[in-house]
Amino acid sequence: MVQQKLSTPDELFHFQLRSATTMEKHSLEALGELRAAAKDAKIKKLFRHHSDETREQIENLSKAFALLEWKESSAPHPATTGISKQAASLLERTAGKLHNQVALTSALGNEHFEISAYQAMILQARSLDLGEVAELLTANLDQETHTSEELYSTLEELLA
């Protein structure tokens, strides 16, 4: 299947917004799986909270589509699929006592990927003079950054 060639900054940004929607939907699914795998109540609560934030992020992406008057849709996002598969593979191969650590490290890797995706999209939105869209993406980035910090400190406590 031949995909459309992206020729303009607008087309690229549109594709990336669609891809971010897929990224967040993959993350929401993965968070449920990681929450189920975690043994610690604090870690489960952290994943539940981030699931709520991820739903907000999906809503922000929907608002961005509406502001741009683009039909809301998704696009392939193989990176987050790969991160989820890696987490599932590690959980299958590790003893239950390591599941908290695997869940946290997997989620942390995903957060870092999402952070870089939002950073790039915010720059693109600003360069396209899409201030309101950039604000929505910045709200998502702020949540991702905060979650990354929470995951890191929780992992640090676990490994201390």
How far apart are alpha carbons 107 and 30 in whole angstroms?
A: 8
- pLDDT tens, residue by residue, 26-68: 999 989 989 999 999 999 999 999 999 999 999 999 999 999 9
Domain boundaries, the chain: 9-68+76-159
How far apart are alpha carbons 7 and 2 in whole angstroms?
A: 15
The per-residue pLDDT for 3 is: 63
- pLDDT tens, residue by residue, 70-128: 998 888 777 777 777 888 888 889 888 889 999 999 999 999 999 999 999 999 999 99
pTM above 0.75, yes or no: yes
Work out the pLDDT band at 11, boundaries 50, 70, 90. Answer: very high
Whether domain 9-68+76-159 has CATH 3.30.465.10: the reply is no
> 19 with 74: CB under 8 angstroms?
yes
- Does pLDDT of 2 surpass 60? no
CA angle at 117 for the pair 52 and 155, rounded to the nearest 5°: 55
